[in-house]
Each structure stands twice: as structure tokens, then as C-alpha cells.
Amino acid sequence: MRLRNIPGAREAVAADSRCFDTPEETKGRWQEIFGNDHPLMVEVGMGKGRFIIENALRHPEINYIGIERYESVIIRALQKLDRMNAEELKHPEMPSSDRAIKTGAPPNLRFLRMDAAEIRLFFEPRSIQRIYLNFSDPWPKDRHARRRLTSREFLMRFREILKDDGTIEFKTDNLDLFRFSLDEQAIAGWKLLYSTEDLHSDQEAMKNNIMTEYEQKFSARGNKICKYSISKR
């Protein structure tokens, strides 16, 4: 969802070293950017960043990339990270490793400002381990079905940049979109690893579930959360 225009957001995002917006900066260079060869996991449509920031904090052995189209959205995630860094500075007595875990912004996180349809321009083939699609725009009109991130057209793009054992995890509260997405992944030849129309009733799946801002809001309203996991193989 596009936020109201925030004055100065474009300039702030362009100047921030954690953000990228051109293929020349990124394609084939992610190991250089992160300074390691850890697995890459990508959230397409990260919103204000709660999900991907929490993942990065929990898993320092994995590199995370959040993708958003609008600076007015990315700036919110950057502000969160800046607040975390400010909080870290308040605890100089704590060992640096503990501060990074408990308060500081994770170093294994970067942001891409781009249109998801151009994702193959920014990543090498077979370079990503997992793609997260959380509460994507449902594009409810039939004529816009190809714009849905779980359409066969987008699955084709994602297949190219995922590793051979790569996976996609998708969550939504929109049942029509979820059932459409299940049909599309089957038509596109993916393997369904997990599927539920009521994620929060699955105690085992919820053990490692990280809620996005939307998930928290929708579940509080009583909306059921749907999820699938699919694999290229």
C-alpha cells in the first residue's frame, strides 16, 4: 500500500547506504554488499519492514533484502532501524554482540527500491534461497490478474532467480487471492509444501511465525490468515 507522500523521503532513501535502486549496483554483487556469502532471502513488498527486520535480527547467518516500490514506504523502515541504532547507543556497558541482538539494527539487511516486475534485473539466476510474499495487493479485478505477485507470470520470474531448492512463502487474509494463488502455482508446475486457510490455528506453524503489521491488524479483526509454501522442485 502506498503511503502519503513524505517530504524529503526520495532524497533520504537515495542517500542511505542501506538502500539500492539500480541493477548496476546489485546484480551479481550481493556477496560484496554484505561482505559474506550467506544465503539470500527476499521479501517482495516489505511494507514498513517489521517482518524482515525481525527475521534479520533472529537469523544473523542469513542476509535479507526488502523490496518496495515507494520511498514513502521504505523511509518508515529506515526510521525504525535508526531508532534501533539510537537505542543501542544508550547501552555502552553491554557487550557489542549483545547490543546488536537486543537493541541495534541488524547488519544483514538491505533495501531495494524497485518495481517487482523487474526483479530479474537485480539478481543473478539461482541466487536467492527464499522469497516472502506477505499480504500482497490482491488486484481484485480479473483483468489485473497478471499483476498479482502469485500469478503464473510472476512465478516464472521468481523461478529464474531462486536456487534449485528455493522456496516461496505467501501469506494473505484474502481467501479469493489465496485460492487463485494455489491454482496458479499448480499450473506453473511448483511443488506445494504447505497450505492452510487458518494459519493461526496451526500451533506448530505458529511457533516460528513472524507477524507483519497487516497480519497483526487483520488477525485482531478476526480475519483468518492463509499461507502456503511452495518449492521449485
Give the residue numbers marked as catalytic: 137
Parallel, antiparallel, or unpaired for β 226-231 and 162-172? antiparallel
How many CB atoms neighbour CB 166 within 10 A?
22
Burial tier of 204 (Cβ tally within 10 Å: 0-12, 13-18, 19+): exposed
DSSP element (H, E) containing 218: helix 213-220
Q: Which residue has the cell 520511498?
A: 71
3-class secondary-structure state, position 152 = helix
C-beta of residue 25 within 8 angstroms of C-beta of residue 50: no
3-class secondary-structure state, position 140 = coil
How many CB atoms neighbour CB 5 within 10 A?
10
C-beta of residue 129 within 8 angstroms of C-beta of residue 41: yes
Contacts of 80 (CB under 8 A, 6+ apart): 48, 49, 50, 53
Show the cell assigned to 162: 531462486
